[in-house]
Amino acid sequence: MSYIDRDEIGKRIVWAICVIVMIIGIIAPIYLLIKYSISDPSTMNTGGRPIPLWPNRPTFDIFLYLFRDREFWGVVSNSAIIATLTVLLTSLLSIPAGYVLARYNFPLKRFFLILLISVRLFPDISSVIPIATFFVRANLHSSFISVVLAHTLLSLPYVIFMATTAFEFVPKDIEEQARVIGANRVTIFTRILVPMVFPSLIAGAIYTFLLSWDEFIFAHFLLDTGGQIQTLTLYLNKNLSFSPPQNVLAAISVCLSVPVMVFTFVVQRYMVSGVVSGAVK
């Protein structure tokens, strides 16, 4: 075996060791989360002996308990309602805005783009104080609408950028051709442009849903102080303060993560580049 071959093999071994260590570092905590969620009490309370790496008697009892609990379904439906309303409001505002930014040059365009960035410059924990104070004054504190508006504020800048980029990829010729054959602006927008950028809009919608689904800071400040409405993140935080068995915390965490994992996979499917390439014949 030549010196170069040995050198190359050595590099491959070092690379493989580093990758394996990284993969273990990434997968192990996730595995432990799932393991804890299906652990029976004997697996968690070991009296000083090492906690087994696999549950002694794997059980879905905690999940069954959660799924039978009316409060749990209440917080899940609250999270789902808030996230869905946030998606609707964000889409309603961002899609027309993205179209205008992609198609037209106007005097205040630069100002609007700076506004988009400026809104997100404030840390959430800083901007939540004035927003919470405003909603208290407006008698909207502890309401769905306050959280939906706050979550829309968080997602809107990103989704406008996503929509703008998507509309920029649609050739202007398509609109011209539709106009020539008599389509009006609304028809062109709803029947031609929106379907063409649909994958990006879906990606934006999913991004918004996930942002709202696992958002904590605004929900905590706007709903947590004596309000009746709770989201899944607030429910998890409330359980943390009660110090319940670890498998309960892990099971709630898994429930919170599953939609995120599923939707992340779906977004990857929709993120197909060049979706409208070759549209103009």
- Which residues within the stretch 231-270 sit at the binding site for other proteins (CB under 8 A)? 233, 236-237, 240, 246, 249-250, 252-253, 256-257, 260-261, 264
* Residue 249 in tokens: 């915390």
Mark residues 42-81: x for contact with other proteins by CB under 8 A, - for none: --xxx-x-xx-x----------------------------
Position among 145, 183, 217, 275 found at the interface with other proteins (CB under 8 A): 217
What DSSP assignment string belongs to 29-49?
HHHHHHHHHT--HHHH--TTS
Buried b (16+ CB within 10 A) or exposed e, 161-174: bbbbebbebbeeeb
Q: What is the phi-psi region of residue 15: left when phi exceeds 0, alpha when psi lies from -120 to 50, beta otherwise?
A: alpha
Cβ closest to other proteins, residue 37 vs residue 229: 37
Among 11, 57, 110, 179, binds other proteins (CB under 8 A): 11
Q: Can residue 190 be called a binding residue for other proteins (CB under 8 A)? A: no
Task: Give the residue, chosen from 64, 129, 271, 272, that forms a contact with other proteins under the rule CB under 8 A.
Answer: 129
Alpha-helical runs (H) found in 45-197: 61-68, 70-103, 109-121, 124-137, 144-168, 172-180, 185-187, 194-196
Question: What is the smallest separation between the CB atom of 119 and other proteins, expressed in angstroms?
Answer: 5
**Residue 49 or 281 having the CB closest to other proteins:** 49
